[in-house]
Amino acid sequence: MAQPAAKDLSDQDAGNADVLIPAAADLRQAIADWRTWLRDEKRASPHTLLAYQHDLQQFLTFLSEHQGKAASLKDLSKLAAADFRAWLAARARDGLERSSTARALSSLRGFFRWLTKNGLAENAALTTLRTPKVARSVPKALTAAEAGEVVDAVAELSDGDWSGKRDCAVLLLLYGCGLRIGEALALTRGEAPKPGQEALLVTGKGNKQRMVPLLPVVTAAIADYLAACPYRGDAKAPLFLGQRGGPLGARRVQEKMRALRGLLGLPESATPHALRHSFATHLLAGGGDLRAIQELLGHASLSTTQRYTEVDVAGLLEVYDRAHPRARTRR
């Protein structure tokens, strides 16, 4: 059975989210309480909240058609493993990626754990499902030369406008400090590094904070942007602004990287996040300690950071194959 497209929920939708989700009154109240717990207790980011809400809404939309009625807490307790498998099968028929389904299943398990913990519903059938296998992707980093070209060329696309200085500062934060794009865009004017400042306090996922070293070129680029920016604001105002003075969005940075790919002949994998990958990969290749890089990136698990060892080994093997006189015997 095809699943109807579910409307995405945002912070503005929070008031009527219970109406949008096909569920009985008791389940709608549980969902509202769960969202509050995620936001206030788990300190989930707005992006994470939106993803969890979308996953749960999609499941309950399927379930309402599958069972012919809006589900209640009691209905959730009665679901069999076959019902959950039917949902997974429907996602596969709709062509959804395994990675998306794995995340949705994780969201669903988290919700059911919360229901059990709060004595609202319990269902052991969900624990019998296997998470879809997802191919482990190795981050695609740019070379040091390519990363340098990206930062140097960004001004060429701005026709001398102040926005070129802004884009250069943003991209340097991604490559020079390893920030996520959301972390860079969340900085306020009061958090802007001053000349001579050696470290920056960054708030990452789950509101976890970490200190990252600052290169002089990064602080200089930010100072250059602030001097050219036609808009002013107090310490709480966003550091990076769009052409009309509002907060700069991630899509604008992604569009600039797309234009840079065309200008420099870079592959599709050259995205803003690839600059963060490049930061980690180049540190590791230069002898950086894996746990130190974990701290700099703000990874909760070392296994996430260990993916960069695969990148480095792949790069070393490529150099070996190209340069070593005996490399051909290995093929």
Q: Report, as residue numbers or ranges, the catalytic residues.
A: 180, 205, 273, 276, 299, 308
What does the buried/exposed string (b/e) look like for 260-290 if buried means 16 or more CB atoms within 10 Å of the residue's CB?
A: bbeeeebeeebbbbbbbbbbbbbbbeeebee
135 Rama sector, left if φ>0, alpha if ψ -120 to 50, beta otherwise: beta
What would the two tokens of residue 93 be? 């028929």
Show Cβ contacts of residue 61 under 8 Å, excluding neighbours closer than 6 positions.
3, 4, 6, 21, 22
Cα dist from 40 to 37, 47, 120, 132, 225, whole Å: 5, 14, 20, 30, 35
Residues in the chain: 331
What does the buried/exposed string (b/e) look like for 291-320 if buried means 16 or more CB atoms within 10 Å of the residue's CB?
A: eebbebbbbeeeeebebbeebbeebeeeee
For residue 57, the number of C-alpha atoms closer than 13 Å in the C-beta half-sphere is 22
